[in-house]
A and B are shown apart, each in its own frame.
Chain A
């Protein structure tokens, strides 16, 4: 690790999470295409605060064409918003959390005061394990088609061998997530089941049992960001982004210590996670053991409420699960349940790339 101290990066212009909406997270959208799935979510995120697309200065989306095997699905998805007359728009081939980062950077510049961010993804049309194998290094890893569950199992095994976790810890995380998901009407996997019962699951790839894996989910989400007067105009209880950063690690899994997440730690430092106490953390840990790694990287104590929404073990819509973490954390602050929260998003195998967003109420 570099000896250079990482400086806390101050936010130049306060931006608020003005509205959040998400689709029902389901195993399979049988009838609706992406546009039909996204349109009601975009309509809801506007209706929540009584605005229209005309109040928005910028649109940014996160999605990947690999999920449905159709070219330029992010262009057709714009039909869900309606972009005539022409609108300022951008897209990232990343989880919507990174689309939100791009919109936030633009808002920092001060040219616009509001942005729409959305993401969507249907994992059901293809074979997700094969699709995700193709995000790996194309020369040495991708030709071996390592599936994401096997790669995550390598990481979980390393964590156990390092004495940092046990299989019972994974079951306890899954049990808590499923119970919390019972309070989340949008969740896909929710049940009151004990860790002891979950330990009876078979291994999918040892040491990961079924419950330590995320569900396969079709879903979509949207957030409206607001700055300046609009933030207060659209909400009596604005939720401010007080710190924001993302970092990534090498493509080569063999060159990483999979039991820790230095990219999350660094993003957390720059975003100022430790500048105050954290009440709630929404962590994008698709596999149960990754929550343990992220908790350590962000320096979260046992008093922090982790994934009250149920988290990605309750619903893991690819390309939206990170954006949903930011939305869910904001909801906790807006409702007064939390004063300060951290939201996290990940991308790539074994937590390769990580984004940290700190949110605060007033």
Chain B
């Protein structure tokens, strides 16, 4: 820094960099651990509320409607319905999939909570609400306790689901 310049010449300080980094250990919890261990085996594991009977996949351990523990474990199948979707056309840093691609909410058969999934093996202009899809898993030796174990969903070839079957989950 030039010692000859005065504070007036340098002007007011407008920016101050104070780097912050914190590291954490993540505790998924008991219910979510069951879900993640299921993914490691190539299975979707949900939990049922003993009061309202809804099946949450994944469950966080307590029914968000009734506030009671969801203790009954439910193994769900591999198929589900697209409740809503979007086509991603915007490139962004760290993007790992070639655009355009489809991001959808998938309601697994028997579940009462949809979750986000990638839809592939279909032209992007053919995706639609109600489309029946099935999960495609990574190779058995690549399965981990993570949603990365689900490679993507693809059309199952079944006729579209009736709107009434998924209208509550939009």
Interface residues, chain A, with chain B CB atoms under 8 Å away:
29-36, 39, 42-43, 53, 66, 68-70, 76, 78-84, 122, 124-127, 130-131, 134, 138-139, 142-143
Contact = CB atoms under 8 A, between A and B. Distances in A.
Given A69-B24, A125-B25, A35 B62 contact: yes
Interface stretch (B65-73, B138-146, B156-164): B65-73
B22 A33 contact: no
Given A29-B27, A82-B64, A127-B23, 19 more contacts: A31-B33, A32-B29, A32-B30, A36-B62, A36-B69, A39-B62, A39-B68, A53-B67, A68-B24, A68-B26, A70-B24, A78-B64, A79-B61, A79-B64, A80-B62, A82-B63, A125-B26, A126-B23, A127-B22
A136 B67 CA distance: 36
Which 4 A-B pairs have CB atoms at the shortest separation, nearest pair first?
A33-B29, A82-B67, A69-B24, A36-B61
Nearest to A33: B29
B55 interface: no
B27 A80 contact: no
Contact of B64 (A34, A83, A131): A83
B37 interface: no
A218 B137 CA distance: 37
Interface of A is mostly: loop
B90 to A, nearest CB: 22
A81 B27 contact: no
Contact of A36 (B18, B30, B64): B30
Interface size class of B (residues with CB under 8 A): 20 to 34
Contacts of B154: none
B134 to A, nearest CB: 29
B83 to A, nearest CB: 18
Contacts of B22: 66, 69, 126-127, 130-131, 134
A66 B22 CA distance: 9
A207 B60 CA distance: 44
A39 B20 contact: no
A60 B67 CA distance: 16
B131 to A, nearest CB: 28
A160 B147 CA distance: 56
B64 A84 contact: yes
Contact of B18 (A33, A35, A131, A138): A138
Interface string B21-64: 01111111111110000000000000000000000000011111
Contacts of B29: 31-36
A69 B30 CA distance: 19
Nearest to B18: A143
B16 interface: yes
A82 B18 contact: no
Contact of A79 (B25, B26, B30, B67): B67
A79 B68 contact: no
B27 A82 contact: no
Nearest to A122: B27
A68 B28 CA distance: 11
21 contacts: A31-B29, A31-B30, A32-B27, A32-B29, A33-B61, A36-B61, A39-B61, A39-B68, A39-B69, A76-B60, A79-B64, A79-B67, A80-B67, A82-B62, A82-B64, A82-B65, A83-B67, A125-B24, A126-B23, A134-B20, A142-B18
Contacts of B68: 39, 43, 82
Contacts of B65: 82, 84
Nearest to A134: B20
B56 to A, nearest CB: 9
B91 to A, nearest CB: 25
B62 A79 contact: yes
B27 A42 contact: no
Contacts of A126: 22-25
